[in-house]
Structure 1
Amino acid sequence: MPATRVKEAPLTVAAIQMEPRIGEVEANLARSVALIEEAAGHGAKLVVLPELCNTGYVFESRAEARALAESIPDGRSTQLWIETARRLGLHIVAGITEREGELLYNSAVILGPDGLIGRYRKVHLWGDEALHFAPGNLGFPVFDLPFGRIGCHICYDCWFPESFRLAALQGAEIVCVPTNWVPIPGQDPNREAMANIIAMGAAHCNSLFVVCADRVGTERGQPFIGQSLVVGHTGWPVAGPASRDSEEVLVATINLADARRKRNWNDFNQVMRDRRRDVYDEMLGSGAKPGWY
């Protein structure tokens, strides 16, 4: 995509923490729209929803996942979110169970008032997701929106530093993360979630804003941990973490230009400039094209 300069203007973003119910697509969509409307009431222009928020997450079989999956963009979930984006004048990133031909993907749609902007397919599958979904085959695309350039990861993708670095190298200022975080073995209950630490570290190491929208509740015996957050380009949270067990609309106002304009750490060091491209490949062997960074 062509590189564009970031507008020097505040942007209000929202991470929507919700509790989808497995198989209850209509109810999940209705709840997502109500929460998007709440975010819009707080001035949000970019709203991020959790992973697989239209269907729920813990499928009993691939047949169940396939029965709930939808094509993009003509499926009912994408069409309803597009209508909502148009009505409210905002952009939405939402996790969805995608069907393309015989294949299923754990995907996210990037939508605006004019319709589908793009999609992302989860690259790194977690646990028995591999029984239902094909690994993502679109790489780590970056999308031009009116307010800047965004990347998208889903949950386990965040555990791979290459994911954030490739987004940053392609010119992203913000990465949106629909996620379904589960408890991590050894987690100290008195410390921030490991997922929060990873998001903060990635934001700091790449000078990116990161918006993580997690779910809550327990589904077919699997608990989810909540604690959605919005991380600034320095790595420190600017909103959240949210609660561990309740739905919440987490809102923050940021300036995407800071991701580039304030990237220098001191008189000598700047995280993108200091890369040793004589030691490792410019784009980590991905074949992606560098953006304006």
Structure 2
Amino acid sequence: MTGFILAGLQFEPALGDPVANIETSSRLIREAAAAAARLVVLPEAASAGYVFTDRADARRNAEPVPDGPVCSAWAALAAELDLWIVAGITELAGEKVFNSAVLIGPDGHVGTFRKAHLWNFEKELYDRQEDGFPVFETPLGNIGIGICYDAWFPETFRSAALGGADLLVLPSNWVPVPGQPEDLPAMANLMCMTGAHSNQFFVAGVSRIGAERGQPFLGRSLIVGPGGWPLAGPASNDREEIVLAEVDLIGSRAERLGNPFNQPLGDRRTDVYQTGDFTADLSGATA
């Protein structure tokens, strides 16, 4: 398989209502399949919503992977429609709870990514993953996954690229960034575009719309080519939408990775980069 249609499904998951989220996501997945999509990407926390009150609330809304009800419904659709799905899910793993994303193919569950960088109140809800950034081999190409805030770290993009990813998918719940100028792209869109360009691969950032418990979400889902320019989107900030782009992950490898002018992966200077943990010194800060 070479070229195919990639779809980002931008919608508003219902907080604490997995049955409603199965219904909405299934409808949109079918619409994307009718448009010939072979890979569909849903937002972060698409299974049960996002703004939980505490860890106990998150745990109540979590499900095991891959046998939980929402994940099972997605797997049934992937088998029926012969496509791949990446979707955000609140995962219950024994005593632990993760903000995760599943990759499901026509033959079932392929893999799970657990959010590496926990944002704000997420640190009180979820356990930290220690699995890194796996890259999953599929007939469509090699797929890496990050989740929302992971895009604020260049290491996310670079780790996926060094792992051989042709595409990084980012199920997200993007929120407005203070000070965002109205005449410039959303900060999250800029992160996706920069990450795609500097790592020479495709990026799909798929966010949600609406609000939960006073927290608004940004939408603006998009699919970016390896040159850093959008192939589809950005979508609106407040409407349910499907963004579609034709991509060729495998067939484009030679052109992407054989650029005669620059090689962002091959030209790295690992001998001069600073490594180690960062500790901010706020001793001189004033209120």
> TM-score under structure 2 normalisation?
0.93
State the secondary structure of the residue aligned to 1:57.
coil
Corresponding residue for residue 103 of structure 2: 110
- Whole-angstrom distance in 2 between the partners of 1:64 and 1:183: 25
How far does the alpha carbon of each residue in 1:169-214 deviate from its partner, in whole angstroms, 9 at most, with x for none? 1100001110000010110122110000000000000001001110
What displacement does 1:265 show?
8.1
Residue 200 (1) aligns with residue 193 (2): yes
What displacement does 1:81 show?
0.5
What displacement does 1:228 show?
0.1
- Whole-angstrom distance in 2 between the partners of 1:137 and 1:231: 28
Q: Provide the alpha-carbon RMSD of the alignment.
A: 1.6
- Structure 1 residues 230 and 136: alpha-carbon distance in aligned structure 2, compared to 1, 3 A threshold: same
Corresponding residue for residue 135 of structure 1: 128
Give matches, 1:140-289, under 5 Å. Answer: 140-257=133-250, 260-263=253-256, 267-280=260-273
Corresponding residue for residue 87 of structure 1: 80
- Structure 1 residues 264 and 150: alpha-carbon distance in aligned structure 2, compared to 1, 3 A threshold: closer
Percent identity between the two aligned chains:
51
Paired amino acid for 2:62 = A
Corresponding residue for residue 46 of structure 1: 39
What displacement does 1:137 show?
2.0
- Whole-angstrom distance in 1 between the partners of 2:67 and 2:148: 25
How far does the alpha carbon of each residue in 1:118-171 deviate from its partner, in whole angstroms, 9 at most, with x for none? 000000001101111012221100000112100000000000001110100110
State the secondary structure of the residue aligned to 1:262.
helix
- Whole-angstrom distance in 1 between the partners of 2:139 and 2:261: 33
- Whole-angstrom distance in 1 between the partners of 2:253 and 2:208: 30
State the secondary structure of the residue aligned to 1:45.
strand
Q: Mind listing any 5+ residue stretches in structure 2 that lack a counterpart?
A: 277-287
- Whole-angstrom distance in 1 between the partners of 2:261 and 2:181: 37
Corresponding residue for residue 33 of structure 1: 26
How far does the alpha carbon of each residue in 1:66-99 deviate from its partner, in whole angstroms, 9 at most, with x for none? 1110011111111110000000000000000001
Match of 1:70 among 63, 76, 79: 63
What displacement does 1:240 show?
0.2
> TM-score under structure 1 normalisation?
0.91
Match of 2:112 among 109, 112, 119: 119
Q: Mind listing any 5+ residue stretches in structure 1 that lack a counterpart?
A: 1-6, 286-293
Report if aligned partners of 1:263, 1:271 keep a CA contact under 8 Å in 2: no
- Whole-angstrom distance in 2 between the partners of 1:222 and 1:86: 35
Paired amino acid for 1:163 = T
Match of 1:59 among 20, 33, 52: 52
Report if aligned partners of 1:207, 1:259 keep a CA contact under 8 Å in 2: no
